[in-house]
Structures are given as C-alpha cells and as structure tokens.
Amino acid sequence: MLANQAHDEKAFPALCARRIRLLSGSNRFVPAVVLAICATLFQARRAPAQWVDTRVAGPFVCRAEFSLAPGQDLLGELGQLQRELVHYLAIQPASEPIELYLFRDKRNYDRYLKRHMPEVPYRRALYVKRQGPGQVFAYRSREFETDLRHECTHALLHAALPLVPLWLDEGLAEYFEVPSHHRAFDNPHLKTLRWNLRLGTVQKLETLEKKATLSEMGLTEYRYCWAWVHFMLHGPREAHQELVNYLSDLQAGTPPGLLSRRLGNVRGQFAAHFKSWKR
Ligand SMILES: [Zn+2]
C-alpha cells in the first residue's frame, strides 16, 4: 500500500476478486453478485494432467480441457487486450505471466473448484491473485468470451499495477469485456445509463470511491463505474489525461489521492458527455 493512503486502503482489498452474472432465461443482464474472497493458495499448475491444449497469447498462458484451435480469434483478442490497456491507459504492460484455466463445461469447472477450493462459493468465472501469477478460471458458456475479457482485464491490471481502486478495477473490466468494436457505442450499460440521466440520477464518482468491498457493488454501481471510465476515455481530453496521470502515479508508487478530486470541475461534464455521445 502507498504510504499515506490509510483511508483508501479499505477500497483496495480485492487482489483476489470474483464476479458472477446471473442470467435470466434471455440474454438479459440481471443483478450481479460480487464478492471478494481470500482463497487458500491454489496450485493449479500441480493439478492433474487434464489439459489437452496449452497456448500462449501475449502474457497469457492458457491451458484448456478442449482444443483451442477453434478459439484462435479469442486468444488473439486476449493478447490484444494487453496492447489496448497500454494504449488507452498509457501503463506499462503486465510484468508477469497470467495463467488461464479453461474448462469444457460447468460440471468439470464445478468439480475442479470443489476439489481445489472447497471453501469458495461457486461463481461462474474467477480471477485469483495471491502469491505467484494471477490466475483466471472459466468454463465454456454463453458468456464465456465476456467472462474471459472481464477477468483477464482484472488480471492484466493487477499484473501491471501495485493496486487498483475497486471502482476503477470494475469500471475498466466492464469497459473491456465487450468486443473492441462494441466498446465505445454498444456497451449494454449505455441504454440504461441514458435513462438514468433523463431521470436526473447520477451516481457521483466520490460515492463509488467509497465502496470498500465488492459486496457493496450492485448492478447500478457497475454501470456507473463503467460510465465514469467511458467518460474519461471518450469525454474531455483533460479527463483522459488525468486518468493517465493517476495510473502513472499508481504504477510509480506515488500516492495518487482520489481521482474525483484530481478531475475537479471537469466532472461536471459527465452528463453532457453521454447526452451528446453519438456514433
Ligand atoms: Zn470484475
């Protein structure tokens, strides 16, 4: 932790973070349940030899229970994710490899977690960071690619930065979880956010910065974390610059303070940014 960040420390407990999206019968996104875990040391590398394919994509060392040959596009996309984070955020790339463990189905995934992390409540996709490399676990499902992009964004951020504020961690993961050509204009959050803004409801960045644990994060908080990231990436140039400067301070180990304070009056352009945001 940074030297004078006693207040903010509580906001950064989630080096091992996990998320679940509960899906209704359709593809609709319903409230997310999120929690921080402190799993026991999980030594997946010593797991039984069930991996039938192993490939490297950028910093990711990917082991799968199925052939990855048909998934080359997704692997390429994950490799590209590293370059995009570096490009958009001007951070140094991940300084360590990240391990991906991909399961053929839910049954195998459940069995694996039950065997190796029995104390951890079941969740559909998982990012764990303790000693050693970050690890991402997921199984093939309708949301497989979204889950991977989301969890891998967490993994890349935590491999590059000594800490990441909770709201920013989730906001960036929500932003980068959709395919790159959908990120600016077609994120599912955008439509609901526009309705929120029509009704005059805005969740301030200062409010999000006070969220201390993942259990305090519901769908609304995820949407506004995403929205503030979108504002800083696509809104006023000075907002993007402040995000870059903030992350640069984090990476250098310089106490960054609160991003809301650093943004100052430019925060007032948040609603106008989305009202005028058109393809
Ligand atoms: Zn997340």
Residue of higher predicted confidence among 213 and 247: 247
- Residue 17 Cα to ligand 1 middle (Å): 7
Percent of the chain with pLDDT over 70: 82
- Residue 211 Cα to ligand 1 middle (Å): 14
Report residue 116's pLDDT band, with 50, 70 and 90 as the boundaries: confident
Residue of higher predicted confidence among 257 and 16: 257
Beta strand 134-139 with 125-128: parallel, antiparallel or unpaired? antiparallel
Average pLDDT over residues 17-32: 30
- Kindly tell me if the per-residue pLDDT of 59 is higher than 90: yes
Average pLDDT over residues 146-173: 96
pLDDT for res 122 = 72
- Kindly tell me if the per-residue pLDDT of 248 is higher than 60: yes
- Residue 20 Cα to ligand 1 middle (Å): 8
- Kindly tell me if the per-residue pLDDT of 17 is higher than 90: no
Report residue 119's pLDDT band, with 50, 70 and 90 as the boundaries: confident
The β-bridge partners of 138 are: 102, 125
Average pLDDT over residues 86-105: 94
Report residue 120's pLDDT band, with 50, 70 and 90 as the boundaries: confident
- Residue 123 Cα to ligand 1 middle (Å): 12
- Residue 126 Cα to ligand 1 middle (Å): 9
pLDDT for res 121 = 67
Report residue 233's pLDDT band, with 50, 70 and 90 as the boundaries: very high
- Residue 135 Cα to ligand 1 middle (Å): 14
Average pLDDT over residues 164-187: 96
**DSSP letter string over 121-157?**
PP-SEEEE-SSSSEEEEEE-STTHHHHHHHHHHHHHH
Which overall architecture, per CATH, does domain 6-275 show?
A: Orthogonal Bundle (1.10)
pLDDT for res 50 = 86
Spatial CB neighbours of 58, under 8 Å, sequence gap ≥ 6: 78, 79, 80, 81, 82, 83
Average pLDDT over residues 195-214: 93
CA–CA dist 157, 203 (Å, integer) = 24
- Residue 252 Cα to ligand 1 middle (Å): 24
pLDDT for res 95 = 81
Average pLDDT of the chain, as a whole number: 83
Average pLDDT over residues 254-263: 96
CA–CA dist 74, 80 (Å, integer) = 10
User: Does pTM top 0.85 for this prediction?
Assistant: no
CA–CA dist 172, 4 (Å, integer) = 25
Look up residue 49 and give its two tokens.
């030899």
Domain borders along the chain are 6-275
Max mean pLDDT range (28-37, 112-121, 125-134, 144-153): 144-153
